[in-house]
Structure formats: C-alpha cells, structure tokens
Structure 1
C-alpha cells in the first residue's frame, strides 16, 4: 500500500509528493528517501518557516507510526522468544497474537493515531506477560501525534516501552541534544541561567548531553566572540555533563546525520531556532522526541511593546512570530512554557499541543539574608540586549526616581547588567543614578540594597530578576508585568504598582517600614523555595523526559 502525504496544516498546496514506496518497506534508514518539496521551491519567501514546520508535522506523524511499528515488532520478537520457554503456559497468548494480526497490519497502513488504541492494548498485554517472566521494561511517555490539517483532537499520551538504545554505560539514561541560540550566559541573563540549570539537572539525572549553538562560531556575540571569553561558558557546560559542543546549523546537521539515530531527545529553545531544527531532526532522526522550549511567549511580548509604542509594523511582526510559535507547538512532541498562564494561553491557540511548564529555577543561598537596618538604596539588574530592560530603567530613572529623590534626597539607584548601550549609560548623568555594568557575582549587591525595582512595562514569561532578588531576601516593587508568572500576591510576597505615582509610593513604604520589609523578605524567599527552587523544578523536568 502506498503512502500519500498530501496536505500540510492550513494549506491547500501540496508540500510532500506521493511516494510509491510500500509502508511496510519504509524504515528509519530510508525515511529520508521519500520525496518532498523543499522550502526553497516555495514561491512565497515569507511562508518558508511555516512551510518547513508543516512538513515537520507530517514527518513527525510518520516517525511516530514507524516508531510504534518498530517497538511492536521488538515486543513481538521478545514475546515469541519467551513463548518458546513457556510454551505450555503461554499457548493462549500465541492465539491472542494471531487474533490481533489484522489490527497490526491495519495500523501499519494507517496515518491516524486513532487506529493505535487496539495496538496499545496489545502492547500492554505483551508488557505484562513479558514483565512477569523477565521483569518489566522501562517506560517513557510516548508523544502525542496530531494531524492538524484535519483538525483532529489530541490523544492522551500512552506509555510505550523505550526504543532499543545503542550500547551505553549502565548509568546513562540516553542521549539529549540541547540547542539554543548561543551558549548559556548564566551569569548575564536569567534565560541563560535557567537553561544552564536545566542542563545541570539533566546531567545529574544520568543523561548524556550534546549542546548545539544555533549561532556559528564565527558569529558569536559579545564575550563569546573570543576563545578566552567562550572558555568560561564551555567549561561550565562540560562540568554539567556536556560531552560535545557544536557550533552552527551545519555542524549540528552533520552530527544528526552521523549519530542522530542514537538520539533520544532534542531540547530546543526559541522559536526561530526550532524553525530550523524541527525539519532537520524529523528527517535525520525520526524517532527522536522533540521538545520545543518557548523561553517566553515572544509574540505576546512583541504585541505588548507594539501597543505601548503604537507601532503597527511591530504589531504585524508580533502576529508573524505568534504564527511561528503556534506552528512549532504543533510540530513538537512536547512544548515547554515558562509559566502556567502561558501554557493556558498556548493551549487556547493550539489545543492539540502537549504543553508542560518548566519555570525559571533559583538556587537559594544557604545563609539567611541580612536584615533591613544597614541597607540603603535601590537596585536593578538585567541584560540590556533585552529591550524590555532598557525601557524599564529609562522609564524608572526619568519618571519615577525624581519623585523619590524629592522625599529621600540622598537616595541611590544602581543599575547592573551586561551590554548597556548609550541610552542606559546616559542615565548615569541623573543625580543619584549609578550604572555599574556587568557584575559576575551579585550577592553583595543583593545584601547591600534596601529595595529591588522591576519597572517593566512590557515583556512575557517569568522575570528571573524578580525571582533571584526574592531568593536572596531582597523585597521587590514591580509593575503587573514584572510580577506575573510566579504566583506572587501583591502585599504578601511583593508590592505591585502600575503607574509612576503608585510605584513611587510603594518604594517609599519599603524604605521606611522595617516590619513590612521583613515580612516581604521572609514570605518572598519562602515562596521561591517552595515553588521555584532546584528541588521543586527537578521533578517537573523528570516528568517531561519520562521520569
């Protein structure tokens, strides 16, 4: 029976040509021989990323079917071997295999996961019987297949036995390829710290990790542009358990071509990185499960900035980005949101997606923070390649800080963070404002200052600067945008204000009220420890990767 892959989601244009190859003869080695129209042949250049993702969706479905077929074949082979030893007690089981033969053949010829339910029941029976004789095999959660062009509902993820792995040390759970835009700048950006911490957890859990930088070696930004600058971050990855570091999409592609068939997971951050990686992984390593890590809801952040600036071009760019994010979520096996709110929002747009939450992670200092008595001044930290941080400090320094200086004439506002441009550096000319740049260890600054301010007017996701300050016991005054995503309550964990006068008033409360300061310091730190500490998030990562 021939395979016909005709339509991509939401498109009437055929992206993949019919193949006359019988499905029973398709294997993971020849899947890439199925002919398809590459994105380069598309007439509309603007549709290329989404077209690539639509192709990846179809390849993903075929990969799931092939994976299920191969796993069932392995289980059937094992069952027949067990039957030879337990011929008398398992005679009834052989009859069951014969009775289900037509179901299996129909499954091989089908493109619909709704046909999988009888086969899954058979697989459960096989595992139970084999488990009683040989010990139960390990299990991982199989991804949910979807056919977005037909608008079918998603199916709850079944438990399937893990595919056979190549010879590895007994302590190795499998291979993970982690891909991001650049090496994780864990000491300069909260997103880099989050990814580095997740990699730490993967290594501690026994996974063998390969890291890929989507940006090539000759285009690395900032400190990563020199061998000396890269060494600090490469060494940190190796200490986390990373065995190999790849630079650029071509080097990643070569790795997938040579060793992709051994790869269990691809964990890919950012939508534009996933746009390139999804077609590669689906074609080079069809059985690899793909995790798309949103990092934040980029389309939402851009839409908020467009509304603030009344910028129609940015509004259109936000819509395009949201379309790509939706397509990535459809094509991935699992999509990672940073907050529960963003998970809910994504599922409203892509109900067939499988979405989990992996938030920012905060390592709480062992020693309790010092009290309020000797503290002075206000503090902000953020990487200034991220435009919401530039807007935040400029708005605060120009519009709110002068109001505070009228009440507290000697008040100091210190701004830390890498990549400060002219707009941020110019704030140093304002009386009381100090721009101190990149600081490798912020501990003393968290202990020195009285209030952390998060005056973010747009953004998305979880604000690492807010969580990190609270983990160090430094109370926070934030805008509603700055406070979102962590389950924080105004007046219980931090103070929230949406306009200039209210923000100034909340800062003054913390400057003058020691009892309020102490209450927020203790409650905020406890909330981070309970919900966003390393131990709290470790279990979530384990659940995503199959426990």
Structure 2
C-alpha cells in the first residue's frame, strides 16, 4: 500500500524572485527538493507580487494569496491540512504560527531563516558606530574579527534578537544557512542544537566549461539594492575601493547590477570613472560569466552570499571581506582573495585581474569548494531525512522543547488577541465606509 503524499504549506514573507535575491533562490531550491520527492506543495504569501516573481504554478506548486490578521487563513489551513508548514522568515511565524498551531496542531512547523536577521542588524549598527567615530574609509579589520561572544553581546539587548530567537524556539526545526550562525545560537544563545539544521544554498552545478581568462573583461558587482549590505558595499566601492583600482588600472570598468535600482544608485553612474550602474540583470549567471572579477566588499551582513556562489558557478574569481566569505569555505582555499581594507581589496583585485595563473588557480578553487560544500545531491536528501525524522518524533521533540512550548503559550496568546482585535477593527472600519458610501 502506497504512502500518502506529504503535504507542505509554505508561508512566504515575499513571493520568490530567485533572479533578484539569494534568499528567494534558497527558497526555490528547497521547493525543488520537495518536488523531487513528489510532495504536494502550496505556496502562500500576504505580500504583493513583485515584477520578477517566479512562475511557481509552472513547477507544479499551487499559489494562494493570504491576508494578515484575517480569519480566512483559518479556514484555508484547516481545509488544506498540511503535514509540514514552512515559515519563510521569522516574521511569518510571528503572524501565522498561532493560527497554524490552533487549526493544524500536528503539522511540523519549520522556519527557513535565510540569514540571522538580528545578527545582520547588529553588525550594521556596529558599522554605523564605527563610521561616526572615525572618518577612515579604508581599514575595517576591527569589524571583521569579533568573537562569537562579542556578537552575542551586540545582539542580546535588541528587541529584534529576542523576537527572532523566540521564533526559533517556537518552531520544531529551523533551517540555518550558515554554520557560523548555528555555533552562535548554540554556544551563546544556548539554543538546543537539535532545533537547528544546516541547509546551505544548493545550486545546480554547471555542465559547461568555464569561459577562460582571455575571453573575459571588466569587474562586476551584483546584488539586490534593497538589501542594506549590498547598498553599503556599493557606497564603499564608489568612495574608497574603486578609485584605488582605477589608479592602478586607469582603463578599468566596473559594472554594477541589481534588482530594484533606486535613483540614489543610478545617480552614482559615471562612465568617465568606469563606474557603470547597469540596473537589473536578466540573466545573472550570463553577466557573471563574462566578467573577469567579482567584487563583493561587504562591511556587514549575515548568512552566506549568493553572489559568491554564483561567481563560483561561473568560474569567476572574487574579492571580498571576511563578512562576505563567512561560513562558506570550511577551511578550504578561497576562490579569490579576502581583504579587510580598501587598499587590500583593490590590490588583490588588480593582481587577480592581471595574473592569469593566479586567476586560474582561484577559478579551480571555486570548483572544488562547490563540490565539497554545496551539492544538492548531498543537502537535499539530508533535509528530507531530517524532516521525516522530525515528523516521526514530533511528540517527543515538543515535549523536550519546553522553552518553545512556554513561549508559544504566552506569545501566541497575545498575538492571537492582537490579530483578532485588528480584524474586528478592520470590519468596523469597512462597515462604516460602506455605510458612508451608501
């Protein structure tokens, strides 16, 4: 007798746009892993549809728009009766977790984090403080080497960390993209390791031969402009890194691609300086494959960086910071150079751009790193096995996670009452508007 198909509901913070952000790309890789199992998948989101949204229906994934603070979701999830509910980012667990627990108490609740947002925000604040304290735009090595305890101390007093860590506890399993973030949560926040599962980016590896050194030109930087670390990197390139590169390579050209390019970014476009703001790339891998060097001078951030995975996929050496490379190599040689100052990044970029032997070795390192760390054939089955084990042992997992049960009891009650109050208020306002129009 065949087993019933596992039903999965994904509650997305946004509709996936895999060509716009690595976070959406990761969600799509997880969906593809589920589809390979023949699982029945419904993707829902309260967000508006973006201009680069993936065609989920073409993949066999049902799409359903949902509303915040609306009891229509209760009927929807009761009728769907999923076995697994995947929250895409912790804010969706905050909004919908109590409804899932109330109407589908036996569904496995899983949180897909993309990155640890409270870590990213704390690092951003540290950068802001550093910029206020010093006008030095060059050396940021003091930002790049904090111990996990220092990261914890930065985060622990923030409301965002308290909200995010509470959501991790309330879920049955949390998908973490970076091993560094797992160690931070376990060693400093004392989260049980059993609540966490490493699920990195799982790209499809290329089958074509990489374009050689001679067939490439220019520097490239890519990333969604709405993502604060990307925008900060653009500003640092403009003011400090790129001028140093142009001093050594006067004819050098930098092409910057990113989704949702704001006017403040297009205002930086300056062909005379070789600084080209190119807007959105229809095919990120195509433009990455044509570039000789990928620049990613990230001064803050969290998770692992999709742009650097893309660079490896395309055989494009990169120059980044310790923040950019964090959690990605597990001690393997880096496919490029990691620098901590504008001068170090510029010098490395120029050397890689001009030295074919150095460049080719960096390209080969990227291939080795992808094969060692990011195979879908390894991480996809591991994810399925972990989810199935959690489903089998769900009662025991919840019994052993008393802190999570306690947080759900208190937080979900307050969230439930607030949501019900907002829904009632909206009904009253809607009724008053209808009567006034009548």
- Please state which band the TM-score falls in when normalised by the shorter chain: 0.7 to 0.9
Query: Equivalent residues in 2 for 1:148-547 (5 A)?
Result: 170=2, 173-215=5-47, 220=48, 222-223=50-51, 233=54, 236-249=55-68, 250=70, 251-260=72-81, 263-310=82-129, 319-348=158-187, 349-352=189-192, 354-429=195-270, 431-487=273-329, 492-546=334-388
> Where do 5+ consecutive residues of structure 2 fail to align?
133-153, 390-438
Count of aligned pairs: 362
Give the superposition deviation at 1:511: 1.0
Q: TM-score, normalised by structure 2?
A: 0.78
Q: 1:452 to 1:532 in 2, by over 3 A?
A: same
Whether the 8 Å CA contact 1:200–1:241 is kept in 2: the answer is no
Please give the alpha-carbon distance, in whole angstroms, between the structure 2 residues aligned to 1:434 and 1:172: 54
SS at match of 1:343: helix
Q: Deviations over 1:326-377 (max 9, x none)?
A: 1111111001111111112112314336110111122222101111113111
Provide the rounded CA distance (Å) in 2 between the counterparts of 1:490 and 1:289: 35
How far the C-alpha of 1:509 sits from its partner, in A, is 1.3
Q: CA deviation at 1:491?
A: 5.3
Instruction: Give deviations 1:40-96, integer Å, cap 9, x for gaps.
Output: xxxxxxxxxxxxxxxxxxxxxxxxxxxxxxxxxxxxxxxxxxxxxxxxxxxxxxxxx
Q: 1:456 to 1:172 in 2, by over 3 A?
A: farther
Residue 428 of structure 1: SS of its match in structure 2? Answer: coil
SS in 1 for 2:213: coil
**Where does structure 1 lack aligned partners over 5 or more consecutive residues?**
1-168, 224-228
Q: How far off its partner does 1:257 sit?
A: 3.1
- Asked if 1 retains the 8 angstrom alpha-carbon contact of 2:84 and 2:109, the reply is yes
Alignment of 1:67-82 (within 5 A): none
For residues 456 and 488 of structure 1, what CA distance do their matches in structure 2 show? 19
Q: Is the 8 A contact 2:332 2:369 kept in 1?
A: no
Tell me the TM-score normalized by structure 1.
0.63
Give the whole-Å Cα distance in 2 for the aligned partners of 1:392 and 1:179.
31
- The structural deviation recorded for 1:318 is 7.7
CA apart distance, 1:170: 4.1
> Would you say the 8 A contact 2:119–2:155 is kept in 1?
no
Contact 2:229–2:300 (8 Å) recurs in 1: yes
What's the CA shift string for 1:455-491, capped at 9, x where partnerless?
1100000110011111111001111101112126585
Per-residue CA deviation, residues 413-451 of structure 1 (Å, 9 max, x unaligned), is: 000111111222122126101111111212331222110
Distance in 2 between residues matched to 1:395 and 1:433, nearest whole Å? 13
* Change in CA separation of 1:318 and 1:402 when aligned onto 2, cut-off 3 Å: farther
- Give 3-state SS (helix, strand or coil) of 1:322's partner: helix
Query: For residues 185 and 492 of structure 1, what CA distance do their matches in structure 2 show?
Result: 28
Structure with bigger gyration radius: 1
8 Å Cα contact 2:156/2:162 also seen in 1: no
Q: Cα 1:270–1:317, aligned 2, differ >3 Å: closer, same or farther?
A: farther
C-alpha distance in 1 between matches for 2:162 and 2:96: 17
Q: Which runs of 4+ in 1 moved over 6 A?
A: 315-318
Contact preservation (8 Å) 2:155, 2:161: no
Q: Deviations over 1:112-159 (max 9, x none)?
A: xxxxxxxxxxxxxxxxxxxxxxxxxxxxxxxxxxxxxxxxxxxxxxxx
Measure the CA separation in 2 of the matches of 1:318 and 1:337.
22
In 2, distance between residues paired with 1:337 and 1:469? 22
**Cα pair 1:413 1:434 within 8 Å, conserved:** yes
CA RMSD for the aligned pairs?
A: 2.2
Contact 1:268 1:274 survives alignment (8 Å): yes
- Which whole-Å CA distance do the structure 2 matches of 1:494 and 1:171 have between them? 48
Alpha-carbon distance between aligned partners in 2 of 1:334 and 1:187, rounded to the nearest angstrom: 27
Contact 1:417 1:439 in 2 (8 A): yes
* Greater mean alpha carbon deviation, residues 449-458 or residues 439-448: 439-448
Please list the CA deviations of residues 244-296 of structure 1 after superposition, one character each: whole Å capped at 9, or x if unmatched: 42333435333113333xx2110111111111121111111111110011110
Q: Provide the C-alpha distance between the structure 2 equivalents of 1:361 and 1:375, rounded to a whole number of angstroms.
A: 26
- The structural deviation recorded for 1:538 is 1.1
